[in-house]
Chain A
Amino acid sequence: MSIFDIVGPIMVGPSSSHTAGAVRIGLVARRLLGEEIKSAQILLYGSFLATGKGHGTDKALVAGLLGMKPDDYRIPHSMEIAAERGMNIEFGEAHLKEAHPNTAQIRLTGVTGKTLEVIGESLGGSRINIAQIDGIETNFSGDCPTLIVHNLDQPGHVSEVTSMLAHKSVNVAAMQLYRSARGGRAVMVVECDQEIPADGLKWLEKIEGVLKVTYLSKSEDGGSHEV
């Protein structure tokens, strides 16, 4: 733990878990979608549902979807800003089983019609975990550049991804594999020390058996994109 987790972060109040963490969940969801959001369905669970309004969790999640960071002065006005930008937002209750008490389930539709569903958990002290993407379990913080590959559960896809990363001199910090069922759909989550170049992502997309490539970039304006 850095001492700047003890004194810091600079954030808009009132709660590091219910406000700052919620902004970060929204922001990661936006970056994962990789384009402007046309409409968002935000479903809240547990403490987010029970005390979220008083903590500004609703405004914070929307602020993140608009691309704001946890210290952005405009967070309290995110609903108005979303309306100005024509972003359609709908709130509801998430029906999840045994989820973390501070959980949001977010369904996004982008301007080109691209869709994404993310389940994010706020763990406290503004740290978050992305627990699900498009119905498949994941487990990453969004603190590093993160590659998410949906593929068919068949041999060889892990080595294709890692050899591409090796070729691009990208070091793997953590790697996780999940699948819905044997021979079904699988997901690879690869957290990296460096950014992955766009041509590497494009190459992955063309591989037979790879269904979807999603990339969370940490670079400010480059943003993330799905190829």
Chain B
Amino acid sequence: MKYNSIQDILNICEETGKPFWRVIMEEDMQESAMSETESFEKMREMYRAMADADRNYDAGLKSESRMTGGDGQKLHEYNEAGRNLCGDFVGLAMEKAIKMGESNACMRRIVAAPTAGACGVIPAVLLSYQELYHTEEDRMVEAMFTAAGIGNVIAMNAYIAGASGGCQAEIGSASAMAAGALCYLQGGTNGQIASALSFALKNMLGLTCDPVMGLVEVPCVKRNSAGAVNAIAAAQLAMAGIVSAISPDDVIDAMRRIGNAMHPSLKETGEGGLAATASAQKFMQSEP
């Protein structure tokens, strides 16, 4: 029952009649020698840790470099002021994504999903959805398995680390995972989950990892909000019945090839792109 691709997962779902998330969970139970209860409760622990991290956001914190902190609070105030440009769901997701990215930069406890740098995307989408639509927790945990399965296929066939494949591998992967999970929550078919993750990842292809001073701060924190919004847009396209022209496995393969072709200065070395700008140099000079 081992899967190596999104198509394998879809085939197993088709043959067994099991939902996407259950195929992912059962394969991992086999691999990790866990019972169904242990596996499900461990994933619940991950979801609750995301919720705790969101709740524990501290607007007063600044990162060691002094580049990061307090922006999540600004978004919160803007949302609360009744001027939200993006609507409730997207507005809240952006706020949560920035808060989580800031918490990470300020050495708070987060859940790497798939990495620490991209830790804001999945909780932003899932926690906001639950907050607005009051979805029961078990269903949120099932959505987490859906996301994890997508991330696992990406890790097997391409990359999830910025140092290996650029930001497309981090925020791109997180966004694809969140898009699939969101489709599941909206009652999407397995085909719609596949299209959603394809749309999300396609939109992120080629994204470089060029953070200022090599730190997980600029532009990483704000990329988390872009990844969350992109996931919601991708799920919306798929739920409307739009089908991705490129299969999910082909998109993942393209991400790997683009990552290979990416210059090393754009893969978490802090040497190229944004890191090499005059603005970035100013931060380096003022480093405490």
State the A residues within 8 Å of B (CB).
1-17, 19-20, 47, 50-51, 53-56, 59, 71, 73, 75-76, 124-126
Closest residue to A10 on the B side, CB-wise? B49
Known pairs A3-B149, A10-B45; list 5 more (Cβ under 8 Å): A6-B160, A7-B147, A13-B119, A51-B214, A54-B217
Residues of chain B within 8 A of A19, CB atoms compared: 107, 116
Most buried by B among A4, A54, A125: A54
Q: Nearest CB to that of B43 among chain A residues?
A: A7
Q: Shortest beta-carbon distance, B36 to chain A, in Å? A: 14
Q: How far is the CB of B27 from chain A (nearest CB, A)?
A: 8
Q: Flag if A54 contacts B64 (CB, 8 Å).
A: yes
A7 touches B109 (CB 8 A): no
Within B94-153, the residues touching A (CB, 8 Å) are 103-117, 119, 122, 144-145, 147-149, 151-152
10 tightest CB-CB pairs across the interface, nearest first? Answer: A13-B104, A6-B151, A3-B148, A51-B214, A14-B216, A54-B215, A76-B107, A7-B148, A10-B49, A3-B28
Other-chain contact of B112, A2, A9, A56, A59 (Cβ < 8 Å): A9
Please provide the chain B residues from 161 to 186 with a CB less than 8 Å away from any CB of chain A in the complex: 161, 163-164
Is there an interface contact between A3 and B213, defined as CB atoms closer than 8 Å?
Answer: no
Is B156's CB within 8 Å of the partner chain A? yes
User: Residue on B with the closest CB to A8?
Assistant: B46
Dominant SS among interface residues on chain B: helix
Please determine whether A6 and B270 come into contact, CB atoms closer than 8 angstroms: no
Let me know if B24 is at the binding interface, CB within 8 A: yes
Residues of B within 8 A of A11 (CB): 109-112, 116
- Determine the interface band of chain B, counting residues with CB < 8 A from chain A: 35 or more
Q: Are A13 and B106 closer than 8 Å at their CB atoms?
A: yes
- Contact partners of B116 in chain A: CB under 8 A: 11, 13-16, 19-20
User: Chain B: residues with CB nearer than 8 A to chain A?
Assistant: 24-25, 28, 31-32, 42-43, 45-46, 49, 63-65, 103-117, 119, 122, 144-145, 147-149, 151-152, 155-156, 160-161, 163-164, 213-217, 270, 287
A-B contact pairs, 5 of them (CB 8 A): A9-B112, A11-B116, A14-B116, A14-B215, A54-B65
Is the pair B46, A4 in contact by a Cβ cutoff of 8 Å?
A: yes
Chain B residues whose C-beta falls within 8 Å of the C-beta of A6 in the assembled complex: 113-114, 148, 151-152, 155, 160
Greatest chain A CB density within 10 A among B105, B156, B217 is at B105
Q: Which one of B65, B107, B152, B161 contacts A13 once the chains associate, using CB atoms below 8 Å?
A: B107
- Contacts A3-B149, A7-B113, A50-B214 hold; do A12 and B108 have CB atoms under 8 A apart? yes
Q: How far is the CA of A47 from the CA of B270 in the complex (A)?
A: 10
Given A19-B116, A50-B214, A54-B64, CB of A10 within 8 Å of CB of B107? no
Closest B residue to A14 by beta carbon equals B216
Nearest Cβ on chain A to B3's Cβ, whole angstroms: 11
